[in-house]
Amino acid sequence: MYRKPQQGPLQGIRILDLSRLLPGPLATQLMADLGAEVIKIEDPKAPDYTRFFPPLKGSLSLNYLSINRSKLSITLDLKSDEGKRKFFELVKTADIVVDSFRPGVLQKMGIEYDNAKQHNGKIIYVAITGYGYNGAYKNLAGHDMNYLGYSGILGLTGDKEKPIIPACQIADVAGGSYPAVVACLAALWARERTGKGQFVDVAMTDCVMPLLSMQLGEFLNTGIKQKREEPMLSGGMANYNLYKCKDEKWIALGSLEPKFWQGVCAMLGKPDWIPRMMPVPEMVTALKKDLQEIFLTKTRDEWVELAKPLDICLSPILELDEVEKDEHLNQRDMFVEVEHTDYGTFKGINQPFKFSETPAKPSWGAPLMGEDNALLDSL
């Protein structure tokens, strides 16, 4: 008997995970933490590359351990007849297949949706790709920054001099992992009503574009093209901006609404600054300069303490070591320790959803490659 998740709202759902790297594995980890039985399937000769990404502890990648917990691991040569046979036997028992190969790869192996549905008409295939299954870019290679570049997000990210590379993989996660989870759950609900599975095309470039809903909505209907630092919420307002403090640390000032800005002006002893919040370029530049000068007179934490009782949307910009110690995040149980067969205790980010009736938590650490091959014995 192999291990199974013991709690969570997705208990009873079986997912075959053919994905690699970040977008697919994080999506399936989220669902595994929520109780789905996720079976990670890897080629024994060419496994998920993330297993070998530094930093390493011994032979174990911390990146791999961070996004593959609560899963089972089996190895199958899907190019062989026997591997295909066992895969389709698993398809008969599964609800969802998640993959992250470029269009055409599964077709070449003969394990694409059209073949799989012959074995299970209720199977759902969710394909996470950079550009989707049709269109001029469908066969292009790409990574997170490429998708952000095509979507317009990088064009608006940075300062006036140049765009910048974001600190995390926005397209991979916001355009890949989370949309894939939404796609899985929506397809499951559709199957509940129709009795049929389906193929879902999740293109990261497409799915990241709603992050620009307001900016693109404005351009598409007015023809006015904003530039970096011009959008109101991206540097175009002094009262919604970032400021350096006396100790070289930073604060985020988000006093967008008048009531919050009035509170900021009161805290600073500058009631005459209240009318200066208007997003007029000349006024914004001058107010940014004045705010920067005054925020340099105290440390970050001194400003945070001053602002705390005033409720004015002023917060610290935390470094990673400070995030780990943050009181609120710890009260929200956003960090979790899981046991790994070889690593021991591994600390990571907890699953973020709080269910009142079907609580969920990680079941175990990321599996060793082929750790659960015993479940293939009955196929």
Measured between alpha carbons, how far is residue 5 from residues 11, 12, 66, 68, 264 in Å? 7, 9, 18, 14, 49
Query: Is 302 found in the same domain as 336?
Result: no
Query: Is 195 found in the same domain as 270?
Result: no
Q: What's the predicted TM-score (pTM) here?
A: 0.95
Domain boundary residue among 283, 316, 349? 316
Query: Is 47 found in the same domain as 160?
Result: yes
Cβ neighbours of 320 (radius 10 Å): 6
Query: Is 128 found in the same domain as 76?
Result: yes
Evaluate whether residue 169 is within a structural domain.
Answer: yes
Catalytic positions: 172
The conformation of residue 368, written as its DSSP 8-state character, comes to P
Evaluate whether residue 44 is within a structural domain.
Answer: yes
Evaluate whether residue 65 is within a structural domain.
Answer: yes
Provide the angle, in degrees to the nearest 10, between the axes of the packed helices 178-194 and 23-33: 60
**Per-residue confidence (pLDDT) for residue 233, from 0 to 100:** 86
Evaluate whether residue 365 is within a structural domain.
Answer: yes
Total structural domains within the chain: 2
Query: Is 345 found in the same domain as 284?
Result: no
Query: Is 134 found in the same domain as 76?
Result: yes
Query: Is 189 found in the same domain as 280?
Result: no
Residues whose CB falls within 8 Å of the CB of residue 25, separated by 6 or more in sequence, listed in order: 17, 19, 40, 48, 50, 67, 68
Query: Is 290 found in the same domain as 157?
Result: no
Query: Is 190 found in the same domain as 51?
Result: yes
**Per-residue confidence (pLDDT) for residue 57, from 0 to 100:** 83
Evaluate whether residue 220 is within a structural domain.
Answer: no
Evaluate whether residue 231 is within a structural domain.
Answer: no
Measured between alpha carbons, how far is residue 69 from residues 169, 245, 300 in Å? 19, 39, 36
Query: Is 361 found in the same domain as 284?
Result: no
| CATH number, position 353 | 3.40.50.10540
Query: Is 260 found in the same domain as 114?
Result: no
**Domain encompassing residue 310:** 250-316
Query: Is 175 found in the same domain as 265?
Result: no
Q: pLDDT tens per residue, the chain (379 residues)?
A: 689 999 999 999 999 999 999 999 999 999 999 999 999 999 999 999 999 999 998 888 999 999 999 999 999 999 999 999 999 999 999 999 999 999 999 999 999 999 999 999 999 999 999 999 999 999 999 999 999 999 999 999 999 899 999 999 999 999 999 999 999 999 999 999 999 999 999 999 999 999 999 999 999 999 999 899 888 888 899 999 999 999 999 999 999 999 999 999 999 999 999 999 887 888 999 999 999 999 999 999 999 999 999 999 999 999 999 999 999 999 999 999 999 988 899 999 999 999 999 999 999 999 999 999 999 998 8
